Amino acid sequence: MNFQHRFFAIQKIPQGSFHLFLILYDDPRVRQNLLSRLGQLNPPVGTVKEPGARYIGYFQELAEKTGKLLPISISTGVAPAIEIASCFEPPTTPLGYNELQAAGALRGRPVELTVCLTIPEKAIAHAEYVIEGEILPYVRVREDQNSGTGKAMPEFPGYCGPANPSLPVIKVKAVTTRKNPIMRTCIGPSEEHVFMAVLPTEASILTMLEKAYPGKIKNVYCASPGGGKYFVIIQFLKTVPSDEGRQRQAALLAFSAFPELKHVFLVDEDVDSFDLKDVLWAMTTRFQADPDLIPIPGVQCHPLDPSNHSSYSPLIRGDGIACKAIFDCTVPFDQKERFQQAKFMEVDPGPWLRC
């Protein structure tokens, strides 16, 4: 994607949209935080887009059923470890898990919080900006009501996502900043944006697979062309004949660990799972579509993939539905000798480097 295409996409986003904001809400049982998108309407009102796999929407629904306002703090310009921790999703971070604990572990010290000025809530103390506000019950607006383009922001798959027709509204009560604050944001589908999705995806998959197949999972890699969510390369070690077929079970388990996953590529231990050229080499020479491609039709995936749409195929019953697939590029255990890579003599490059 060249610069002109990126610029064209950014021109079509809703006016006054911001990304990389962290919402904190204190439930009597748990503190939840998440990465979210904010939209500017007419001050002091804004919108919030809540990712479907996060829990702020759950708490908002509970508050709305009783007609209550939902007090939240919104922090931006925080330590990268906090931003990364906020990207984790269930099942790795189930309801009741405080993601700030993960952020503290990454930083090696607790995340400092401070009390808000106008609402009964806390915010991240070192944030460049803190917005205090309340989500209003029964109030919704279109995401693109300022621009009318029908588009949202550039998203991780590389396309501008459709504007949400019905977003909750926040009434802003206060904004506090550091001295000379820096407004930090992150626009997709940049490498930075994708990388923030990669780490939680890999961790979620690796955690589940290692529990099921200890010692068999050598690497889990979500390459950036998949947006950090859509495809993963799993390096599986077969050591005994009974391991044959377990690599495919591991792939099925990966779909359970991360529901937004669309494609799983399985490779052997002699394939560099971090080198897409090596992975494609394995797919070219160790993969036959009829025995090694396992389609899984009609499964919920992610609505931002434009091919996951009923207009793309009559077999897709609803938006966000996909035919997921496993690409088994591993060698059958009883044929490993036939697939030995060419080996070359080890050479010490030292004499040439000293010249």
Query: Where a domain ends, among 142, 177, 212?
Result: 177
269, 310: one domain? yes
| Residues contacting 33, CB < 8 A, separation 6+ | 22, 23, 24, 25, 86, 99, 100
- In 5-144, the DSSP E strands lie at 17-26, 31-40, 45-49, 70-76, 113-115, 122-124, 129-141
- Let me know if residue 155 belongs to a domain: yes
Please report the pLDDT score of residue 62 as a whole number: 85
219, 302: one domain? yes
135, 49: one domain? yes
pLDDT in tens, 122-155: 999 999 999 999 999 999 888 887 778 888 778 8
Is 61 tagged catalytic? no
* Antiparallel, parallel or unpaired: β 263-267 and 321-328: parallel
Q: What percent of the chain stands above pLDDT 90? A: 50
Residue 98 CB burial class (10 angstroms; 0-12, 13-18, ≥19): middle
pLDDT in tens, 274-316: 999 999 999 999 999 999 999 999 999 998 999 999 999 999 9
CATH of the domain at 136: 2.30.110.10
What tokens appear for 92 in the block? 């790795």
Please report the pLDDT score of residue 29 as a whole number: 57
Query: Rg of the Cα trace of the chain?
Result: 23
Is 30's pLDDT higher than 60? no
- Per-residue pLDDT, averaged over 319-340, amounts to 96
Please report the pLDDT score of residue 31 as a whole number: 54
Is 10's pLDDT higher than 60? no
- Active-site entry in 155, 191, 269, 346: 155
Please report the pLDDT score of residue 4 as a whole number: 36
Helical H runs in the chain? 3-11, 56-65, 80-86, 99-107, 191-212, 246-257, 276-285, 289-292, 350-353
32, 100: one domain? yes
- Per-residue pLDDT, averaged over 79-103, amounts to 83
Query: Where a domain ends, among 138, 154, 177?
Result: 177
157, 28: one domain? yes
Is 50's pLDDT higher than 60? no
Contact between 156 and 197 under an 8 Å Cβ cutoff? The reply is: yes
- Let me know if residue 79 belongs to a domain: yes
Nearest to 336 by CA among 241, 235, 220: 241
Is 112's pLDDT higher than 50? yes
Half-sphere exposure of residue 39: CA atoms within 13 angstroms, side-chain side: 25
User: Which residue is it, tokens 């979500």?
Assistant: 222
pLDDT band of 33, cuts 50, 70, 90: low
- Let me know if residue 345 belongs to a domain: no
- Let me know if residue 186 belongs to a domain: no
- Let me know if residue 344 belongs to a domain: no
- Per-residue pLDDT, averaged over 25-52, amounts to 58
Report d(CA 328, CA 270) in Å as an integer: 15
84, 213: one domain? no
What tokens appear for 28 in the block? 């009597």
Is 173's pLDDT higher than 90? yes
Lowest mean pLDDT among 35-44, 164-173, 182-191: 35-44
pLDDT band of 97, cuts 50, 70, 90: confident
Domain that residue 32 falls in: 3-177
- Let me know if residue 351 belongs to a domain: no
- Let me know if residue 342 belongs to a domain: no
Helical H runs in 170-261? 191-212, 246-257
169, 206: one domain? no
Domain count, the chain: 2
pLDDT band of 46, cuts 50, 70, 90: low
